[in-house]
Amino acid sequence: MEGEPTAELIRAQLRRLRVNAELSQDEFGKLVHFSGSQVSAIELGQRPLDRFFLKRADEVLDTGGLLTSLLKLAERDGQPSWFRPWLEAERQAQQLRCYQPSLVPGLLQTENYARAIIRTDDMLGDDEVEKRLAVRMDRQSILTQPNLTTFVAVMDELVLRRADESFRGLMGQQIAHLIECVERSRVSVHIVPAEVSLHVGLAGPFSLARGSDGGWVGYLENQLGGAVIDKEDDLAVLLARWESVRSEAPRGRSVDLMKEVMTSWS
């Protein structure tokens, strides 16, 4: 299983820290609000690593967040091989650009919106949904990293208005979050108005990352996975299409449009 070496490291560190603290599994379990048998199952790999459990373990054992940090590494290692190069480019980027015609970009999604989107795949069980959700939320930490100077997201107005009565409250929270994100100096959100009926971005979503060396890397998503784009000619096409799409969505009007959508629902 991908990520298993790191998961085994977490279990080994947990056992070592617990023993060094002179705590039995039952004693430790009471402190982290788990039973002794559950602690044993986690340490033996018979039960999946639990984010809440490891957070409590870090607090009880005073690890400085070691176990939860290792869990993040395990989750990253468990990502599909085709996605890892993009995650690395995303983490190291000085500039990020993302166009999405149908969804709020993952880096700007609220937890509730992201969970609802992930749950649309009915092949995923609850545990896998929560695992993918945790990874997506952790990815958002790059927006506060000092090396990232700007993140510009462009999406179509339809993304904001895709909400029936049951989804409207959740979507309202998501739009409010987008407006808050715009207030950050390094984040910009642009909305392509509905009256722009046709534009080159409708061919599909794409992202671009510019590294410290000034070079660009692209990423294309599809139903089965994604592809990292690093050929110069292909990148030139994506950069040109980015400029075309972004020009259809002026920033000032975009914020007004988001507020207008929220007002129309009240």
Write out pLDDT tens, residues 114-127: 999 999 998 888 88
Task: Note the pLDDT tens digit of each residue in 186-197.
Answer: 899 999 988 888
- Statement: residue 2 has pLDDT above 60: no
Task: Note the pLDDT tens digit of each residue in 157-209.
Answer: 989 988 777 788 899 999 999 999 988 778 999 999 888 887 888 888 999 99
pLDDT given for residue 239 in this prediction: 95
The strand pairing partners of 207, in sequence order, are 98, 219
Using pLDDT thresholds of 50, 70 and 90, give the confidence band for residue 210: very high
- Sequence-ordered list of residues with C-beta below 8 angstroms from that of 140, at least 6 positions apart, any chain: 106, 107, 108
- Sequence-ordered list of residues with C-beta below 8 angstroms from that of 48, at least 6 positions apart, any chain: 127
pLDDT given for residue 28 in this prediction: 94
Q: Of all residues in the chain, what percent carry a pLDDT higher than 90?
A: 39
Contact assessment for residue 142 and residue 88, using Cβ atoms and an 8 Å cutoff: no
Q: Phi-psi region for residue 64, left (φ > 0), alpha (ψ -120 to 50) or beta?
A: left
pLDDT given for residue 18 in this prediction: 93
Overall average pLDDT of the 3-19 stretch = 82
Task: Note the pLDDT tens digit of each residue in 131-141.
Answer: 888 888 888 98
pTM: 0.70
Contact assessment for residue 152 and residue 98, using Cβ atoms and an 8 Å cutoff: yes
Q: Of all residues in the chain, what percent carry a pLDDT higher than 70?
A: 93
DSSP string, 36-88: HHHHHHHHTTSS---HHHHHHHHHHHT-SSHHHHHHHHHHHHTS-TTTHHHHH
Neighbours of 70 (CB within 10 A): 21
Using pLDDT thresholds of 50, 70 and 90, give the confidence band for residue 3: very low
